[in-house]
Structure 1
């Protein structure tokens, strides 16, 4: 076991204690103090005991159970109040949101126009229109700042730009954990879902890759 003893003054007289430390007036928070920084450095340099190494070695030698085998990954994003996902293999890049330029004599439902991203033109497709989602329903509760994005995707030989209200990021999950969609989901969206996955406090609709790809291609024709 390590013999390094860390005097955690921040828990006694610092921000987590009675706040009587005279250094708080200068540093405001313990994390800005040289004493806290020095303690962190000593903690990282402490000697690791043999028992600790053996315990973790035994942990990583264990075979993963079926519930731990995360054999799939997707990119999670939000449209309106709906958290949705598509397989990561469909995505090429993420770009800042851009206003599409409308195409003359093209009024296809779901085609918003074209956008210029890095000098390349992409057809801008509205998943909200294709899936029957109201974009003005308000933000889902995320307790963090949200930023609209353009998701650059590729299906077969065609690229698309998909505007989304928020981007959660890449999520790995077990295929066996996918559940059936709830009966209360609107019919316009439910027919494009292959299931639902739960992550933290989110219920994420798993969009059917083939159906979405076909619908995007059909809308562009």
Structure 2
């Protein structure tokens, strides 16, 4: 029996990806198809998905991920202050970076330290019997099954009220793959604008009038290219996502 192996540092999870061999994505010879019609309705697929979501992460990988963000910020700080003799000036010129993207009418920024890749939109395979709307399902990213989640649902963004100026931008939709102290997660977004660099002093407070959950998941607001960009707090976003996966 063939298995797909998903390996972390010191952790190996074996999953029989029968749907790719004998299921609807394979040769269709699985006898269970007569009962369930599609692999998505089969309990074998559901169990495999549950194992993927629940597989452990070892201490070494957690430590490595926890160290990645401070190290990246330290390198950016060093590069931005290398030619600045005064320590006070160094604080002002230190820069951070974030990828700017759009979901519905909202422009958001994800710190690049958490970004793994930007890819084309790919088919998402829904998980049977999962009612949490944040978790969309599983997506194949370069041969690895990856959890796909909706930032729009997590932040309670209204996707039905999209301005007319954005209705023709569907061709710009992308899949962001991000990770923070754990496994990568894929987020479909409506448009990617690019990377912005900014000083911490450029962050504006989150407006108190902002009602949706984005307010509690944001570090602040950036004024960029005549737009207000909500800079996401990586810790808060992934903590909320972890609760949704339970």
TM-score, length-normalised on structure 2?
Answer: 0.59
Quote how far apart the aligned CAs of 1:187 are: 3.3
Task: Give the counterpart of 1:176 among 193, 197, 201.
Answer: 201
Within 5 A, what are the aligned runs for 1:54-73?
69-73=93-97
Per the alignment, residue 134 of structure 1 pairs with 158
The reply on whether 1:167 has 2:187 as its aligned counterpart is: no
The reply on whether 1:211 has 2:225 as its aligned counterpart is: no
Report the secondary structure of 2:236's partner residue: helix
Give the direction of change, closer, same or farther, for the CA distance of 1:62–1:71 in structure 2 (3 Å limit). closer
Per the alignment, residue 180 of structure 2 pairs with 155
Quote how far apart the aligned CAs of 1:117 are: 1.8
Contact 2:155/2:213, CA 8 A, preserved across alignment: yes
Contact 2:92/2:201, CA 8 A, preserved across alignment: no
Report the secondary structure of 1:155's partner residue: coil
Give the direction of change, closer, same or farther, for the CA distance of 1:120–1:186 in structure 2 (3 Å limit). same
Task: Give the counterpart of 1:86 among 88, 94, 110.
Answer: 110
Per the alignment, residue 222 of structure 2 pairs with 197
Give the direction of change, closer, same or farther, for the CA distance of 1:86–1:119 in structure 2 (3 Å limit). same
The reply on whether 1:220 has 2:245 as its aligned counterpart is: yes
Greater mean alpha carbon deviation, residues 132-141 or residues 62-71: 62-71
Quote how far apart the aligned CAs of 1:184 are: 2.7
Distance in 2 separating the partners of 1:140 and 1:173? 30
Which structure 2 residue ranges, 5 or more long, are not aligned?
A: 1-82
Q: How many residues align?
A: 160
The reply on whether 1:106 has 2:130 as its aligned counterpart is: yes
Structure number with bigger Rg: 1
Distance in 1 separating the partners of 2:228 and 2:219? 13
Contact 1:82/1:140, CA 8 A, preserved across alignment: no
Quote how far apart the aligned CAs of 1:101 are: 0.7
Once the two structures are superposed, residues 138-197 of structure 1 have per-residue CA deviations (whole angstroms, 9 ceiling, x without a partner) of 25858x956000000112121100010000111100101101112332232211111101
The reply on whether 1:97 has 2:121 as its aligned counterpart is: yes
Report the secondary structure of 1:122's partner residue: strand
Contact 2:117/2:178, CA 8 A, preserved across alignment: yes
Report the secondary structure of 2:241's partner residue: helix
Distance in 2 separating the partners of 1:124 and 1:167? 17
